[in-house]
Amino acid sequence: MNERILQELSDSFVKLLIPGIRVTIPLTAISFSLGLILALTVALIEIARIPVLNQAVRCYVWIIRTTPMIVQLFVVYYGLPNVGIKLDAFPSAILVFTLSVGAYCSETIRAAILSVSSGQMEAAYCVGMNYLQAMWHIVLPQAFRTAFPPLSNSLIGLVKDTSLAYSVAIVEILATAQRIAARTYDYFWLYCEAGLIYMIICTILTFAQRKIEKKLERTG
Amino acid sequence: MLQAVNIKKRFGDNEVLKGISLTVRTGDVVSIVGPSGSGKTTLLRCMNFLEMADEGELNLDDKLYDVRKVRKNEIREYRKKTGFVFQNYNLFANKTALGNVTAGLTIVRKVPAKQAEEIAADALARVGLQDKMSFYPSQLSGGQQQRVSIARAIAADPSVVFFDEPTSALDPELTKEVLSVMKKLADEGTTMVVVTHEMQFARNVSDRVIFMEDGTVLEEAAAEEFFRNPQSERSVRFLESFSVGAGPG
């Protein structure tokens, strides 16, 4: 590794960090938040066994889990215009990532809710709560503690999966690294550096996860 | 006053309650005793709609509930007028002792937080736990947890409090601590229906005893009367197994 490459890497570090902050992080944050709402909705529909809706959400989870995410991205971004639905790259990616989080995390959340003892629900009923109050105030806070570590895993997974947005022409970290390398031919170093940016983001998230887990342990 | 009329319940082919009727007057303490599997707990759960009876009527404070026609919001109204104490406490694990007691007040009855905390603190003081208000259930002993659950059940001043074998999960020392709290409540005039295996409690604290066997009420009598002079051969045998009250010798 000579001085030129060192200089190039330090120059490009900021250039890679910028799309990380402006694309990868918002893409992750928006998809994950929307995905969690979707996942919770799916989990509650499955637990309450609401007819028709229950079959519909199971079909949705099945489709998402059995097809590659990059195929889903292609279908939404390149395919949907054929049937008259035209989405820009960023909303396409948000849609696909949200659906993915919704499908995978619904299983996590469903299992966590079912792990809360049925006596908690009964006790909530006995003080006069209705189903939604009991869920919201008693069961979900406890389920959240159980679901938190696997959900953190999904979040970190999503950060890395956003690199697939590269394939629908979103200029995120990987695409930026490729553009720089196309000019300088230092593919090895630039792609390693792109990996480093992901490592930094995911490491920060891992630390945050540990902190929050400790805090959750303290209460109750 | 609580009245249950002809409560029937079956699980599949098994007829657990064969038409049970009972009356609990305001201020009364009624103990339901009997061998395991006699339907005591199912009866208690049916009286709070935790289990839906197949047939029968409940009358609480002059409002009639037909178990076959009762609506969800009627069940909630009914439950708001009752308290329930579980065998394994079922304290809300995500809430402190204080939070367990305030939950029913703030969330269900929309009592302002500050007022709810005063009511809850008062209820916790009645069970002798005024110094444990900020503790989570996992930080409390079984006896303390059960006392919090009693505080939770009495906080909203219910017409009747149901106890489902409240001391069965406790060792003798903790049992004593919970029973003395229950005795105190009884002395203060709380209306109580208690499913129990504690014959001393049934004898000394309750006004009346209901002896159940195989889904029916075999005997109903004033507490002292039941223990001194049990009427059926089955209740004699049952009491002998505890070696208290009646029996040879």
B119 in contact with chain A, both atoms CB, cutoff 8 A: no
Q: Hey, are the CB atoms on A126 and B48 less than 8 Å from each other? A: yes
Contacts of B83 in chain A (CB under 8 A): 126
Q: Where are the alpha helices (DSSP H) in B69-112?
A: 72-80, 97-103
User: Which residue range is the domain that position A163 belongs to?
Assistant: 3-219
Tokens representing A110 are 């469903």
Distance separating alpha carbons of residues B95 and B101, to the nearest angstrom: 9
Candidates B83, B222, B248, B230; CA nearest to B164 is: B83
* Paired residues of B11 in beta bridges: B14
> Minimal Cα–Cα distance from A86 to chain B, Å?
46
Taking the Cβ of residue A121 and every Cβ of chain B, the question of whether any pair is shorter than 8 Å is answered with: no
Smallest CA-to-CA distance from B102 within B134, B75, B71 is with: B134
List, edge to edge, every strand of the sheet that includes B208-213: B82-85, B160-164, B192-195, B29-33, B208-213, B216-222
Structural domain total, chain A: 1
What is the CATH classification number for the domain harbouring A167? 1.10.3720.10
Of residues B108, B136, B156, nearest to A129 (C-beta): B108
Q: Terminus-to-terminus CA distance in chain B, angstroms?
A: 39
The predicted-structure confidence for B9-42, as pLDDT tens digits, reads as follows: 999 999 999 999 999 999 999 999 999 989 999 9
* Residue of chain B with shortest Cα separation from A133: B107
Tokens 């009358």 found at: B59
- Cα gap A98→A105, rounded to integer Å: 10
Contacts of A141 in chain B (CB under 8 A): 94
Asked if B104's CB is within 8 angstroms of A127's CB, the reply is yes
**pLDDT tens readout for residues B181-211:** 999 999 999 999 999 999 999 999 999 999 9
Q: What are the φ/ψ torsions at residue A199 (nearest 5 degrees)? A: -60, -45
A63: Cβ–Cβ under 8 A, 6 or more apart, which residues? none
The secondary structure of B16-77 as a DSSP string is EEEEEEEEE-TT-EEEEE--TTSSHHHHHHHTTTSS--SEEEEEETTEEEETTT--HHHHHH
- Cβ–Cβ of B109/A128 closer than 8 Å? yes
Of residues A123, A141, A145, nearest to B90 (C-beta): A123
- Within an 8 Å CB–CB cutoff, is residue B183 touching chain A? no
CB neighbour list of residue B208: distance below 8 Å, 6 or more residues apart: B28, B29, B30, B31, B220, B221, B222, B223
Residues from chain A contacting residue B94 (CB–CB below 8 Å)? 138, 141-142, 145, 219-220
Q: Do A123 and B48 touch (CB under 8 A)?
A: no
Alpha carbons A193 and A37: distance in angstroms, whole number? 34
Count the helix, strand and coil residues of chain B and give each as a percent rounded to the nearest 5.
40, 25, 35
CA distance A163 to A171: 9
Length of chain A as a residue count: 220
DSSP class of residue B132 equals G
- What is chain B's pLDDT, residue by residue, as a tens digit (249 residues)? 999 999 999 999 999 999 999 999 999 999 999 999 899 999 999 999 999 999 999 999 999 999 999 999 999 999 999 999 999 999 999 999 999 999 999 999 999 999 999 999 999 999 999 999 999 999 999 999 999 999 999 999 999 999 999 999 999 999 999 999 999 999 999 999 999 999 999 999 999 999 999 999 999 999 999 999 999 999 999 999 887 544 444
